[in-house]
Amino acid sequence: MNSHIYYLFYISLVFLFVYKATGCEPIDTTLGFISQPLNQSNFDIQKPYDVPLEHRYKFSNGVHQLWVIKTDKPHSRTSKTGPRTEIRIRDYDYSSGVWQFEAYGYVPCSTTGVCIMQVFGSQPPHATTTMLRVYNSSLYYYTNPVILSNLYNRWFRLNVIHDVEGNTIKVYIDGILKHEATGRGGKSHYFKCGVYTSSNASFYMESRWKDIKVLKLGD
């Protein structure tokens, strides 16, 4: 009987050790950060220029739903970029400091070949410092590595931390660090989320977002 209890105790210790050692414990990524005031006027929505907003975007019960079709037009008559319906966070463009994007995201299973979140701005020739893309049921940091598999049809919490001077990016899913990358420099940045067509896109692409926050590390 006693040996049973010691055995269980030992097994629990081993599990605890492995759990800690692999860093799989969710953390509060917002500690020390200050949440910036946001309202609908901070959400500049970019959508195919020739369709009304309500044909590609809906805001209801606190959920932003954004979708686009592969054959859609770009967001402006002169743009040569792929179709998008995206929230571009306005009034919090930054060139220094440590900034964080937090939101709950959701991708329905019909969606692939699309970028759903960006840290915009970088040293040319690139345009972005981070892209999170959906390919075949997984979320990727650009095309590698996988950030989250079995992505479809469930809410996940996303935290992306950009340290401009340190030139680093950290991506967390549900409080767990999934990827740490070197940034791509640049002097002007902002956050975006929604759908922006990438390679091998599905006909229909959609993502949903709620509780969007922009936070800045306090001094």
Ligand X SMILES: *[C@@H]1O[C@H](CO)[C@@H](O)[C@H](O)[C@H]1NC(C)=O
> Which chain residues interact with ligand X by CB under 6 A?
37, 39, 41, 135-136, 143, 199-200
Beta bridge partners of 196: 84, 115
Minimum CB separation of residue 198 from ligand X in Å reads 7
Minimum CB separation of residue 71 from ligand X in Å reads 18
37 or 218: whose CB is closer to ligand X?
37
96 or 136: whose CB is closer to ligand X?
136
Minimum CB separation of residue 92 from ligand X in Å reads 10
Minimum CB separation of residue 20 from ligand X in Å reads 32
Please confirm whether the linkage preceding 145 is cis (ω < 30° from 0): yes
Q: Which two tokens stand for residue 50?
A: 């020739």
84 or 133: whose CB is closer to ligand X?
133
Instruction: Please give the angle made by the CA atoms of 196, 209 and 212, to the nearest 5 degrees.
Output: 110
29 or 132: whose CB is closer to ligand X?
132
Cβ atoms of residues 17 and 23 within 8 Å: no
- Rounded to whole angstroms, what are the CA distances from 67 to 80, 134, 159, 202? 19, 14, 22, 12
